[in-house]
């Protein structure tokens, strides 16, 4: 009976809210079938290739105070750092020689970096490596800023919506942050021609199974090129320190449902998934994900980019992670490739 729902999801690319909810509630009995169909669908578009994106975490300053995040402004226990524009470009150069063809420039919302500085980093990387994609992940900005960064050569932008339920959004964020502005940003990015990534945490405080069903409809409706999801993991110096972590099981099941909902989406098996479960990233790939985002940041700053407790890969060099990931992924029957890995349109 639940298999028939998975079949219909594969056929139509969508279900009704109650049907998604039914699947989520009965996930244990269909998880294997869902994963099998999700992998088959991924194969149709991407074969057995897994794309890698080099993550450059260039600042851990943030003007926001999200209740769940270790980089929040009021976390005074965190030692802060900023990379210079030259450092960012150096990271990309190192990444290029390791085989990366996408660089993700990610940071907290840090007004220290002007549009000019960020545009300089983007245009320099694009000039030095014309065969690469530059992805930005800089949070909420003005329409004009997004326009200038696009003009400087940025190709993609990641901005998780965090939750599709505006009431839930209020419980995860202080009053200064607004769901409507998130949506404005996501719509701007789409209109400007970025390949856009959205996403949410699985098992964040106050999230219900119905909220998760709503996430799948929201994602279908926005139709992004990328969707990043990972389990919520509590951080000891945040207001959410006492909340339970999200689970790898629910995260991987949702990865399968997302793959079936948006067949050609670029779907990372995230670091948070690898943190909550030592084999989390492999399980994510086996559930339908096709992207990994290892860290390219200098080892000296990695431990300071602590969004949540016990984050993995904070002591390793980028080169070590690549070797590690290649071994891990080979065991799933997939293969890491080093091309730009653009979104493939549905046929």
Span interacting with ligand FES, options 34-42, 116-124, 237-245, 314-322, rule CB under 6 A: 314-322
Task: Kindly give the pairing relationship between strand 54-59 and strand 102-107.
Answer: parallel
**How many chain residues touch ligand SF4 (CB under 6 A)?**
9
Provide, rounded to whole angstroms, the least separation between the CB of residue 44 and ligand SF4: 34
Helices and strands: H and E segment counts in the chain: 14, 9
Provide, rounded to whole angstroms, the least separation between the CB of residue 269 and ligand SF4: 20
Provide, rounded to whole angstroms, the least separation between the CB of residue 256 and ligand SF4: 26
x/- letters, 132..171, toward ligand SF4 (CB under 6 A): -------x--------------------------------
Q: What is the DSSP letter of 99?
A: T
Pick between residue 159 and residue 325 the one whose CB is nearest to ligand SF4: 159
Q: Which does 324 bind (CB under 5 to 8 A by kind): ligand FES, ligand SF4, ligand 5AD, none?
A: ligand FES
Span interacting with ligand FES, options 126-134, 210-218, 320-328, 338-346, rule CB under 6 A: 320-328
**How many Å apart are CA 143 and CA 31, to the nearest integer?**
41
Q: What is the DSSP letter of 162?
A: B
Task: Kindly give the pairing relationship between strand 335-337 and strand 102-107.
Answer: unpaired
**How many Å apart are CA 92 and CA 102, to the nearest integer?**
9
**How many Å apart are CA 169 and CA 162, to the nearest integer?**
7
User: Does residue 313 bind ligand FES (CB under 6 A)?
Assistant: yes
User: Does residue 316 bind ligand FES (CB under 6 A)?
Assistant: yes
Inter-residue contact 78 to 237 (CB < 8 Å):
yes
Residues between 26 and 55 that touch ligand 5AD (CB under 6 A): none
Any residues with CB less than 8 A from the CB of 229 and at least 6 apart, and which?
199, 200, 201, 202, 251, 254, 255, 258, 270
Judged by CB under 6 A, the residue of 31, 150, 160, 259 near ligand 5AD is: 160
Chain residues binding ligand SF4 by CB under 6 A are 62, 64, 66, 69, 71-72, 108-109, 139
């Amino acid at each position: 009976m639940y298999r028939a729902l998975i079949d219909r999801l594969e056929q139509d690319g969508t279900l009704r809210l109650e049907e998604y909810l039914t699947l989520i509630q009965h996930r244990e009995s269909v998880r294997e079938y869902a994963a099998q169909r999700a992998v088959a669908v991924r194969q149709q578009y991407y074969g057995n290739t897994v794309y890698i994106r080099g993550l450059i975490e260039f600042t851990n300053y943030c003007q926001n105070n999200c209740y769940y995040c270790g980089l929040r402004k009021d976390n005074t226990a965190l030692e802060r750092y900023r990379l210079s524009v030259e450092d960012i470009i150096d990271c990309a150069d190192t990444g290029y020689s390791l085989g990366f063809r996408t660089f993700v420039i990610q940071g907290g919302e840090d007004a220290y970096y002007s549009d000019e500085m960020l545009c300089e980093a983007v245009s320099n990387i694009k000039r030095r490596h014309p065969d690469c994609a530059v992805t930005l992940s800089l949070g909420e900005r003005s329409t004009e800023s997004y326009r200038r960064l696009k003009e400087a050569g940025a190709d993609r932008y990641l901005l998780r919506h965090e939750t599709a339920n505006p009431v839930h959004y209020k419980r995860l964020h202080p009053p200064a942050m607004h769901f409507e502005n998130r949506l404005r940003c996501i719509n701007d990015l789409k209109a400007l021609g970025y390949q856009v990534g959205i996403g949410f945490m699985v098992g964040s405080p106050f999230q219900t199974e119905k909220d998760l069903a709503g996430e799948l409809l929201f994602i279908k409706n926005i139709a992004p090129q990328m969707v990043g999801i990972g389990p919520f993991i509590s951080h000891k110096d945040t207001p959410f320190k006492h909340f339970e972590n999200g689970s790898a099981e629910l995260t991987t099941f949702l990865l399968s449902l997302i793959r079936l909902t948006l067949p050609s989406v670029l779907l990372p098996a995230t670091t948070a998934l690898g943190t909550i479960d030592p084999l989390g990233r492999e399980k994510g790939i086996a559930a339908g994900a096709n992207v990994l985002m290892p860290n390219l940041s200098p080892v000296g700053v990695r431990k300071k980019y602590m969004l949540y407790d016990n984050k993995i890969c904070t002591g390793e060099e980028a080169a070590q992670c690549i070797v590690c990931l290649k071994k891990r992924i080979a065991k799933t029957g997939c293969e890491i490739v080093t091309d730009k890995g653009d979104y493939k349109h549905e046929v």
